[in-house]
Structure formats: structure tokens, C-alpha cells
């Protein structure tokens, strides 16, 4: 059965070869020139049309290729622009951090206490930033209750301390209380924290009045904070003859929204 099938396939192949050879010979005969010319005349318009279509397709392909190339170049330029913007932002941030760090280190040298520098890595969930998180903890000698400052002045104190992260309660917390004095008049009083601005209740003294622009400095009374830390500057004074104290609105020297570097005073133990 297999031999018969193979024989039929071989025979069919030979017949086809013979037919093709015969057609080739016939078309080459002089008497077939008319048929060849007719076939050529019929094919030429079709060939021209196909060439025109091919040219149009080639042109569209070229245009699409150019559009694709332009899109690729545009995306590349956008990526480069985004990368440059990122680098500029990082350099700007690094410059601010370096400036804050230099200011903090200068403060550390002049103040004389042992301190640990820390970066601010987070802020409180509320809009007033009552707390900030720093990247130093018990593994670095930081303990709850320690005083925190910046190169500008007092920030607050450590509320919680983990191995590598601590939470600092800033002076913006309404529970904060700082005993301080005014730099020119020498008047004493208590700084009260607040999310909007700090206030100071000043003990009046006969013949002496607080003045706008005076610096508010910790006096060390009560043992809560070491003496000599700048807290704020007097922005306004409310005096009432019937009141037992004068009230001053203070401009805090720190801004928790831009605070980047702080110093934890490790050799002072609040009493």
C-alpha cells in the first residue's frame, strides 16, 4: 500500500515537471509573442499601481518612523529634565542641611555642653507639628527628658526614645513651660507653648517695661532647662495696669516645618 502511494506521488511530480517545461518552451516560440505581449501589457498597469502603493506605504512608514523617533527623543528630554530638577532639589536640600549643620556645630562649640547631632526624619501628624522625629535614640545616648536645641536656639525636649529614633516634644506644644528672662531689661517670666505663637508671662518690675525686639533666654530657674539657650524674640507686648503680669507675644527662633538638624544635650539632667 505504501509503495503504491509513493509511486503515485512520484508520478504526479514528474507530470508537473513535464508540464512546466512544456509551458516554458511554448512561451519562447515566435508564434507566442503576441500572447506574451498581451500578458505583459495587462500586467504593467497592475505593476505600476503596486509600485505606487508601495511608495505610499514607504512614505507613511517613514513618517511614522519619524514620529516614533521624535516621541522617543521627547521622552528622553523629559527624563533628562526630570533628572536635572531632582539633582537641583537634592543639591538645594543638601545646601540647607549643610548650613543648618554648620550653625549647629558652631552653637555646640560656643555653648560648651556635650551634644549629639541628629537629623529630623519626621513631623507630627497634626498641622502644627507639635512633635518631630529624629534619627538618634538610646543607642546614641539619647534619653527621655533630654533638652533639644538647634543652631538658632531651644527646640524642646525628648518625649520618647527608641534604639535609633526619638520623638521630640517642641515648644509648640501648649503643655510646654520654660523659665526665661529678657536680654535687655532682665525681666523674668515663663514662656508658654502654643501652636500659633509662643507667649511669655512677664513678672513686672517698677520702672522697667519689656520692649519689642528683646531676646528671650532660658534662665535655668527650676532646673528644667540649662541657662543661656535662646528661645524667642519679643514681637509685641500687652501691658495692663490692672494685671499682675505683662504678656508678650514671641517670635520663636525655630520653625518646625523647615527644621532639619537638631542637637540633643546629653550632659544636662533636668531636675
Mind listing the pLDDT tens digit for each residue in 46-98? 555 555 555 565 555 565 566 667 677 777 666 655 655 555 454 455 554 56
What's the domain count of the chain? 1
234 located within any domain = yes
189 located within any domain = yes
- What confidence score (pLDDT) does residue 39 get? 46
Q: CATH number of the domain that 236 lies in?
A: 2.40.10.350
- What confidence score (pLDDT) does residue 34 get? 53
C-alpha cell at 120: 529630623
For cell 525636649, what's the residue?
157
- What confidence score (pLDDT) does residue 179 get? 96
Mind listing the pLDDT tens digit for each residue in 117-135? 888 999 887 655 689 999 9
Q: Whole-angstrom Cα distance, residue 151 to residue 84?
A: 31
- What confidence score (pLDDT) does residue 200 get? 95
240 located within any domain = yes
* Residue 36: CB atoms within 10 Å: 12
Mind listing the pLDDT tens digit for each residue in 156-191? 999 999 999 999 999 989 889 999 999 999 999 999
Give the residue numbers spanning the domain of 246.
177-253
Which contacts (CB < 8 Å, 24+ apart) does range 212-218 have? Answer: 212/236, 212/237, 214/182, 214/183, 214/184, 214/185, 215/182, 215/183, 216/180, 216/181, 216/182, 216/183, 216/191, 216/250, 217/180, 217/181, 217/182, 217/183, 218/154, 218/178, 218/179, 218/180
Mind listing the pLDDT tens digit for each residue in 230-262? 999 999 998 777 778 889 999 999 988 888 889
Which residue blocks in the chain are alpha helix, DSSP H? 2-27, 33-111
- What confidence score (pLDDT) does residue 261 get? 87
Amino acid at each position: 500500500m505504501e509503495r503504491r502511494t509513493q509511486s503515485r506521488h512520484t508520478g504526479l511530480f514528474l507530470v508537473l515537471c513535464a508540464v512546466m517545461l512544456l509551458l516554458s518552451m511554448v512561451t519562447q516560440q515566435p508564434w507566442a509573442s503576441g500572447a506574451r505581449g498581451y500578458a505583459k501589457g495587462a500586467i504593467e498597469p497592475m505593476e505600476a499601481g503596486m509600485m505606487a502603493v508601495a511608495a505610499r506605504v514607504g512614505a507613511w512608514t517613514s513618517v511614522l518612523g519619524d514620529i516614533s523617533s521624535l516621541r522617543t527623543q521627547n521622552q528622553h528630554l523629559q527624563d533628562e529634565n526630570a533628572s536635572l530638577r531632582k539633582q537641583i532639589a537634592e543639591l538645594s536640600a543638601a545646601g540647607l542641611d549643610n548650613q543648618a549643620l554648620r550653625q549647629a556645630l558652631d552653637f555646640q562649640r560656643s555653648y560648651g555642653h556635650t551634644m549629639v547631632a541628629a537629623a529630623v526624619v519626621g513631623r507630627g501628624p497634626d498641622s502644627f507639628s507639635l512633635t518631630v522625629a529624629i534619627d538618634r535614640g538610646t543607642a546614641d545616648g539619647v534619653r527621655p527628658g533630654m533638652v533639644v536645641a538647634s543652631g538658632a536656639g531651644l527646640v524642646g525636649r525628648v518625649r520618647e526614645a527608641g534604639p535609633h529614633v526619638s520623638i521630640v516634644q517642641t515648644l509648640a506644644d501648649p503643655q510646654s513651660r520654660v523659665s526665661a528672662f529678657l536680654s535687655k531689661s532682665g525681666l523674668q517670666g515663663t514662656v508658654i507653648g502654643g501652636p500659633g505663637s509662643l507667649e511669655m508671662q512677664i513678672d513686672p518690675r517698677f520702672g522697667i517695661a519689656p520692649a519689642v525686639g528683646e531676646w528671650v533666654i532660658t534662665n535655668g530657674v527650676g532646673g528644667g532647662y540649662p541657662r543661656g539657650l535662646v528661645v524667642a524674640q519679643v514681637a509685641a507686648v500687652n501691658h495692663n495696669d490692672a494685671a499682675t503680669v505683662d504678656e508678650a507675644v514671641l517670635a520663636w527662633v525655630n520653625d518646625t516645618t523647615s527644621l532639619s538638624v537638631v542637637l540633643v544635650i546629653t550632659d544636662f539632667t533636668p531636675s
